[in-house]
Structure 1
Amino acid sequence: MLRLLANSFRANLVKSGVAVTGKVIPKMTDASPEIRKMISAYKSPTLGDIIYYTNQRSDNSLAEALLKTVGYFKMGDQTTESGRVVVNSHLKDIEFDLEGLNI
């Protein structure tokens, strides 16, 4: 989760014109942090529920976020292009007819 947050922050800096070098390397700065009390918790819907909602509502923002998330988990960056590459690769692997498909 920290890696995703750090990569999002880095991407936004670059998009805003701030020069950023190097890679994101998340690490715990304190090996034994103080004991904390949980004050709230949130359980996210399942990925299946999110995809179902996205498709039923034709929510392009969520669809793009899912595409970028796939790209991040398979290729290490959260760009639309990485997501497109991953999805196309998967569809080829399952012998899906790609003729006319344009992501």
Structure 2
Amino acid sequence: MNHVATYSKSAPTREEVDALIGPSILEFGTDWCGYCQRAQAAITQSLARLPQIRHLKIEDGQGRPLGRSFKVKLWPTLVFLRDGVEVARVVRPANPTVIDEAAAALA
């Protein structure tokens, strides 16, 4: 699967996320967030090496229940899931190495 360019305004429900089969990465943030914009190069570089992993890029913010259910506080936050269960998390990645290390938990 390819890296998604923009954050989706529509999000799956927590129940749908919990039911996902296989490895997935949820990326929470917004298109206007400076931290999110700066992290995109590292995220894109790392995810290019993981084409088999589902990547959901979800707009987060006040009143957005999915981000609240994962206790997201800072953007971007990447939540690594295996069969709907969180196995790793990266907050504000500065380089692709930290993303690669978290993705190793999906193996």
Q: TM-score, length-normalised on structure 1?
A: 0.26
Q: TM-score, length-normalised on structure 2?
A: 0.25
Q: Which is higher, the Rg of structure 1 or of structure 2?
A: 1
- The structure richer in helix per residue is 1
